[in-house]
């Protein structure tokens, strides 16, 4: 573990973001990607505190309810739908006592389905040996500056496949599980395949939904990403998710597309 992280723990439920968590649209806000990983880290700690029933996190959905100020946050977790084979958990992130993210996790019973497994995409070329891409040349913020980004091919408008990793802890001095470490990088997808320059257009996502057919191993997060802008102010970022062993699932982000205020003048 490193001595630096995206967050520092205050107590059991509260965390303080560091400069490494600062956002790409506004450096005074948190980038959602490490915050999403922090929610999964809190879910992991919640699950460790109860008997293991063999349930696996299979879907994660995050709704971003408002501005993510670069300030102390609190995470509260409750069981929405208990069950022996299917369970639904909800986590709420609060800043200054106000809910800013509402996340839900579906847990499904594990079982041996290796005999019928199939249908996934081809695995990506390994990240080792690929040239780094200076993503900070497109985006500002401490989070983007913290990343090691290695495209499989040169990034194109609306279409990029890249590996992403970081040398920082999610929470300084704590070991995060492979799912939390993996999810902490997924929201980067909306920034690796920009269709238009972010100095001319804004296209922040208001949600992130992840479906998993296999739990990721952590380490590198692979994003095979396509961005579509519609004609009426909406967009969708879609990614096939990979780890170094192959595909693990899919992610989607809904975007609100609008010109930068300076462009409207």
Residues 105 and 69 sit within 8 Å (Cβ to Cβ): no
Residues 57 and 39 sit within 8 Å (Cβ to Cβ): no
Residue 171: domain span: 5-108+128-264
Strands 73-81 and 159-166 turn out to be unpaired
DSSP annotation of 114 reads G
On the question of pLDDT at 50 being above 90, the answer is no
Within-domain flag for 241: yes
Confidence at 264, pLDDT banded by 50, 70, 90: low
- Four-residue CA torsion sign, 81, 83, 86, 89: positive
Determine the pLDDT at residue 1. Answer: 45
Q: How do residues 62-107 score in pLDDT, each as one tens digit?
A: 999 999 999 999 999 999 999 999 999 999 999 999 999 999 999 9
Determine the pLDDT at residue 259. Answer: 96
Residues 51 and 17 sit within 8 Å (Cβ to Cβ): no
Within-domain flag for 118: no
Within-domain flag for 97: yes
Instruction: For residues 50-56, give the mean pLDDT.
Output: 87
CATH code, 236:
2.40.160.210
Within-domain flag for 226: yes
User: How many distinct structural domains can be found in the chain?
Assistant: 1
Within-domain flag for 115: no
Q: Which residue is listed with tokens 């996790």? A: 105
Scored b (16 or more CB within 10 A) or e, 108-143 reads beeeeeeeeeeeeeeebeebeebeebebeebbebbb
Phi, psi torsion values for 21, nearest 5 degrees:
-95, 5
Determine the pLDDT at residue 3. Answer: 58
Within-domain flag for 113: no
Instruction: For residues 185-198, give the mean pLDDT.
Output: 96
Mean pLDDT score of the chain = 95
């Amino acid at each position: 573990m490193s001595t630096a992280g995206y967050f520092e723990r205050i107590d059991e439920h509260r965390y303080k973001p560091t400069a490494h968590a600062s956002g790409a649209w506004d450096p005074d806000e948190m980038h959602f990607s490490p915050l999403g990983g922090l929610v999964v880290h809190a879910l992991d700690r919640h699950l460790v505190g109860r008997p293991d029933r063999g349930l696996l996190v299979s879907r994660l959905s995050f709704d971003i309810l408002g501005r993510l100020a670069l300030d102390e946050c609190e995470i509260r977790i409750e069981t929405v739908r208990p069950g022996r084979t299917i369970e639904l958990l909800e986590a709420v992130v609060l800043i200054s006592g106000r809910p800013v993210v509402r996340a839900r996790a579906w847990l499904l019973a594990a079982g041996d389905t290796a005999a019928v497994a199939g249908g996934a995409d081809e695995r990506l070329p390994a990240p080792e040996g690929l040239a780094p891409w200076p993503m900070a040349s497109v985006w500002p913020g401490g989070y983007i500056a913290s990343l090691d980004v290695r495209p499989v091919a040169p990034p194109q408008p609306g279409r990029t496949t890249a590996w992403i990793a970081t040398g920082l802890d999610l929470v300084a001095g704590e070991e995060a599980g492979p799912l939390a470490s993996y999810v902490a990088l997924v929201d980067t997808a909306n920034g690796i395949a920009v269709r238009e320059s972010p100095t001319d257009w804004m296209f922040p996502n208001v949600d992130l939904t992840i479906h998993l057919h296999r739990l990721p191993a952590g380490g590198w997060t692979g994003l095979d990403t396509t961005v579509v802008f519609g004609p009426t102010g909406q967009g969708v970022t879609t990614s096939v998710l990979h780890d170094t062993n192959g595909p693990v699932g899919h992610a989607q982000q809904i975007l609100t597309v609008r010109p930068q205020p300076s462009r409207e003048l």
